Amino acid sequence: MRRFKDKGVQALVYLAFAIAVVPLISVLWMVISNGMARFDMEFLTHSMRNIGARDAGGGAYHAIIGTLEQVALASLISVPIGLLTAVYLVEYGTNGRLKRAISFFVDIMTGVPSVVAGLFVLAFWILILGMPFSGWAGAMALSILMLPTVVRAAEEMLMLVPNDLREASYALGVSKWRTIVKVVLPTAFTGIVTGIMLAVARVAGETAPLLLTVFFTDSINNDPFNGAQMGLPLYVFDQAARPNDTAIDRAWAAALTLIIIIMLLNLAARLITYWRSPARKR
């Protein structure tokens, strides 16, 4: 009877896995099959400047540059702040009111819709302070969405570090901050990198914050601090809204490009974690 129950539960697990994988495979297949029609070097190296909606040429180079710069700036904002917040919550916040307040607000930020983050930056940065639409404004909106994911991922990884390592370091006379830098963070490094990549993957495809803060442009803008700047999610949104086949093909190709960029970033993170893994060093 027990063996029968074990087999039944195992079958349910496999069934749930298949149900979860089938939509993912179908989405990937649809994006790849439709996106390969325009996924070529011209698409990757040209912008939409002077290209009409029905013209067969054009590409997403300006959107690729914008996405890479916006995500990089958002990471530069959210990763240090999120990591320091996680270190405080795990290493210094000993059941105090401040710790509970920070955890409460991080939980709230986790559930904030992406359009709300865009509206906040639009209202404060653009309307009140009078700053222009720019990639930097979009990066600030994306960093709001990244921050809680980074905090929670880093917090969980730091909590998994055995206390024996900390106590051994303290017994040798090492100060607390050096123990955190030299012992705790390197031990949790691989998990923290994985959490950061999850946060990057989440914000890389956000469209609503960019609609409100970055605006649209068909030209290449390498300066995220000055002027409107395109992004791949915006490019997909713009091209998919145009009722012709050439624009739809460009939208599918841009979606495929975004997936490939995220996959390459995750592959780079895996290589970094493998390079820093204790098993490799042995």
Out of 16-20, 27-31, 52-56, 135-139, pick the least confident. Answer: 52-56
**Per-residue pLDDT, 70:** 94
Q: Answer whether residue 278 shows pLDDT above 60.
A: no
Q: Are 62 and 234 contacting, i.e. CB atoms less than 8 angstroms apart?
A: no
Q: Answer whether residue 279 shows pLDDT above 60.
A: no
Q: Which residues of 14-49 are buried (b: 16+ CB within 10 A; e: fewer)?
A: eeeeeeeeeeeeeeeeebeebbebbbeeebeebbbe
pLDDT tens digits, residue range 204-245? 988 989 999 998 888 889 989 988 899 999 999 988 888 788
Can you tell me the distance from the alpha carbon of 118 to that of 206, in angstroms, rounded to the nearest whole number? Answer: 10
How many percent of the chain have pLDDT more than 70?
96
Tell which CATH classification among 1.10.3720.10, 2.60.40.420, 3.40.190.80, 3.90.850.10 matches the domain 38-281.
Answer: 1.10.3720.10
Position 46: which residue type?
Answer: H
Average pLDDT, the chain: 88
And the tokens for 106? Answer: 């991080």
The pTM is what?
0.88
Segment 175-193 mean pLDDT: 88
- Find all residues with CB under 8 Å of 61, minimum gap 6, and list them: 44, 45, 46, 47, 220
